[in-house]
Amino acid sequence: MSTTATDQPNRALRLLSKLGPFIALIALLVIFRIALGIGDSPSDFWSATNLRIILVQTSIVAIAACGMTMIIVSGGIDLSVGSVIALSSVVAGLTLHHGGDPLLAITAAIAAGMVAGALNGSLIAAFGLAPFIVTLGMMGVARGSAKLFADSSTVSFPTNWLGKLMQPIPFPNDATIMKALVVAPGVWLAALTAVGMALLMHKSVFGRSAYAIGSNEAAARLCGVRVRTNKIAIYALAGALFGLSGLLMTSQQGQGNPTIALGMELDVIAAVVIGGASLSGGTGTVLGTIIGALIMSVLRSGTDQLGWPTAWQEILIGAIIVLAVGIDRLRNRRAT
């Protein structure tokens, strides 16, 4: 058998394909460090303050992108992320506004996202509708509902601990290394979500079923995988994560807002794709997605500090998405 001989380069390639986005992230960090000068003033790129800002900015996209990873791996797509985040934000805001407990607000925000996701999943699974179309519809429905509930304005609520999720935990010691570790609770929440989702996708029957459905739906069905139930569960779980993401955004803004996260579906999908997932399903990892999300925030932050106009940032990120997919394509062609 000649399998061992052909396996070796395959393995090396597979490893490289996993490390690719990671190398890109490190390279970006180094490039910006050099370009922005070395030192430890708060304006420096590697300063604790700046890294904390980057992490906070990443966490909102990252949590949503964890959910999106599972959807994309299963061969689907969800365009309604931004709208569902806005809906959750309004639901959380209204709960607090009417004197609800912060815990109730958290539950309500996540539940709102989950309901939207379950609705997406049910329509896709039960009627065989294209995910693109169903979630495009949900994009309008969720955004409109958010505006309707909030009466098209922001929803204010009394200050409580929920509003501090995105602020760093105060830390008495001044050691700079420790300052970088003392990140906002929201960042820890994102990290926990990522670890949980990574375990779910790699170790659980549910997670592997998502890969199987994305890789070959007919085969999964023939093997007895409950494709419909799984799809509904996948979209509902992702919806719940979108809700959580919306909660963090509400906390950051200190108000419920039906117009936040406009166009955020693009950032979320871009994070997943840069992280190595294929839009045709079957491949993708949570770790890759997190790195993808980090790459985008590092780029934004770095180019911001270099004084580049946002227009150029947008062009750059757009080009990087295409580049990431292009490299992936090339690698796959060589591997086969």
Q: Which residues bind another protein (CB under 8 A)?
A: 1-3, 7, 10, 203-206, 208-209, 211-212, 214-216, 218-220, 222-225, 282-283, 335-336
Quote the tokens at residue 278: 């294929």
Q: What dihedral do alpha carbons 236, 55, 166, 135 form, nearest 10°?
A: -30
Whole-number Å distance between alpha carbons of 115 and 100: 20
Which residue, 56 or 212, is less far from another protein as judged by CB? 212
Whole-number Å distance between alpha carbons of 65 and 299: 17
| Least distance in angstroms from the C-beta of 200 to another protein | 9
Residue 256's DSSP bridge partners are 155
Quote the tokens at residue 5: 């001989």
Which residue, 77 or 201, is less far from another protein as judged by CB? 201
Which residue, 7 or 101, is less far from another protein as judged by CB? 7
Nearest to 267 by CA among 288, 293, 248: 293
| Least distance in angstroms from the C-beta of 30 to another protein | 33
Q: Is-contact 287 95, C-beta < 8 A? A: no
| Least distance in angstroms from the C-beta of 300 to another protein | 32
Q: What dihedral do alpha carbons 41, 44, 47, 53 form, nearest 10°?
A: 120
Whole-number Å distance between alpha carbons of 94 and 100: 8
| Least distance in angstroms from the C-beta of 4 to another protein | 8
Which residue, 165 or 210, is less far from another protein as judged by CB? 210
| Least distance in angstroms from the C-beta of 203 to another protein | 5
Which residue, 44 or 328, is less far from another protein as judged by CB? 328
